[in-house]
A and B are shown apart, each in its own frame.
Chain A
Amino acid sequence: MKLQTATRLGLYAVLELARDPDRTLSSAELAERFGVSSHHLAKVLGTLSNAGLVRGGRGASGGYRFIANRRRITLMDIVALFEPAPGQRAREPGEETDIGAALQRVLLEIDEIAEATLRSISLETMLKPK
């Protein structure tokens, strides 16, 4: 399964911040930790902040911390902020044909299994020591 870059960065940032909710990390510190673009990550943190998952300090040096409930938030909650919801994307050419419809049923089955997996894993479960 391939996630968009913003989704992957969102998951990295939320999981790193949720690891210790008392800790504050700047966008630059998070970007360095994962070897990703600080500019791109700053936009992702804005989305996470609007969703009430993190709270950000002001200015370039302002840090972010996790403010949601680790036991309640699942991987799907973060993925849904960045990926189009199943069934909400535009129709592709050929979908109205019998072959197109049959292919759509297979893709829907895969989407349902992926969603069930992402929705069943809380941040708390992800961060549990193995």
Chain B
Amino acid sequence: MVAIRPVQAADLPAISALDARLTGSDRPAYWQEMLAPGRHFLLAETDTGMLAGFIAGEIRAWEFGQPPAGWVFAIQIDPRLRLKGVGTALFEALVAGFKEKGVTRVRTLVDRKDHLILSFFRAQGMIAGPSLQLDKELS
């Protein structure tokens, strides 16, 4: 089992390291920003204090004309601890935080070729939302 708690500044090196290992991008400044007021930044740790994973999000109001909703920006789980319910525990804790603030929807954006993370969010009951993301390369 894992315990869920808010991320503190002392946790950032381990979070940056796990993210860098999984994505290949080292971005400590981005994770530092997630500690800003209003952000929801939680981690899961094992009973030996090892980082099992983390999740980050925020409530955004009237983004693209949409009423307030909780957004999931990132979730990462240590591959050695996957399929043990860590991601679900983090997602549920984040959603509980959003609900406490009065929002009734949670949203995220996922690379459509990233089937692993798409499957995870589907398993949490998420379906295609009302918006379609459009994109253009600027030359």
Residues of A that sit less than 8 Å from B by CB: 71, 74, 112-113, 116-117, 119-122, 124-125, 128
Which size class do B's interface residues fall under? Answer: 10 to 19
Kindly report which residue of chain A lies nearest to residue B124, judged by CB atoms.
A125
B119 touching A122 by the CB < 8 A rule? yes
Tell me, in angstroms, the Cα distance from A10 to B94 when the chains sit together: 37
B112 touching A121 by the CB < 8 A rule? no
Listed A/B pairs (23) with beta-carbon separation below 8 Å: A71-B83, A74-B115, A74-B119, A112-B112, A113-B112, A116-B112, A116-B113, A116-B115, A116-B118, A119-B119, A120-B115, A120-B118, A120-B119, A120-B121, A120-B122, A121-B119, A121-B122, A122-B119, A122-B122, A122-B123, A124-B123, A125-B122, A128-B123
B36 within 8 A of A: no
B123 touching A119 by the CB < 8 A rule? no
Instruction: Kindly list chain A residues whose C-beta atoms are within 8 Å of the C-beta of B121.
Output: 120
CB-CB contacts below 8 Å: B51-104 with A: 83
Instruction: Kindly list chain A residues whose C-beta atoms are within 8 Å of the C-beta of B112.
Output: 112-113, 116
Q: A119-B119, A125-B122 are in contact. List 9 more A-B contacts (CB 8 A).
A: A74-B119, A112-B112, A113-B112, A116-B113, A119-B118, A120-B121, A122-B122, A124-B123, A128-B123
A125 touching B118 by the CB < 8 A rule? no
Interface centre among A74, A122, A125 (most CB of B within 10 A): A125
Instruction: Kindly list chain A residues whose C-beta atoms are within 8 Å of the C-beta of B113.
Output: 116
Tell me, in angstroms, the Cα distance from A113 to B132 when the chains sit together: 11
